[in-house]
Amino acid sequence: MENKQIKLSMLSQEHGDIAAIIGVEAFMKLCDYYGGSNLYIPKRDSVIRYIRDTAIKNEFDGGNHRKLATKYNLSETHVRRIVANSDPKYLVHKQTDIFDFL
């Protein structure tokens, strides 16, 4: 059966709830791709937090904690925590090399 032939009223309550939000065609694409597996949908705030934290890590220059805290409406302590939990790829090019001073 083609996606265009499937109507919202044909779906179960659980499936219909999802299809009502994203559309029947998008729901069927999810079925095609993730069918038979468990799919975790994160809360919106955790997605937004990840995007914000990634931006902070990318904008961090080694000493702009206060500027980033102001920009993202966070405490400096929280910005320091975000940067401290960075992958090394975020820190390597931003760390000062002691040999630059010798």
Q: pTM, whole model, 2 decimals?
A: 0.67
The answer to the question of residue 102 being in a domain is no
**Number of compact structural domains in the chain:** 2
pLDDT given at position 85:
81
pLDDT given at position 101:
63
Do 56 and 79 lie in one domain? The reply is: yes
The answer to the question of residue 100 being in a domain is no
The string over 24-48, giving b where at least 16 C-beta atoms fall within 10 Å of a residue's C-beta and e elsewhere, is beebbeeeeeeeeeeeeeeeeeeee
The answer to the question of residue 22 being in a domain is yes
Q: Average pLDDT by consecutive 10-residue portion of the chain (102 residues)? A: 81 94 94 92 95 95 93 96 76 58 62
CA dihedral 76, 81, 86, 91 (to 10 degrees): 50
The answer to the question of residue 39 being in a domain is no
Do 27 and 60 lie in one domain? The reply is: no
pLDDT given at position 94:
53
Query: What DSSP character marks residue 87?
Result: -
Do 49 and 26 lie in one domain? The reply is: no
pLDDT given at position 97:
63
pLDDT given at position 91:
55
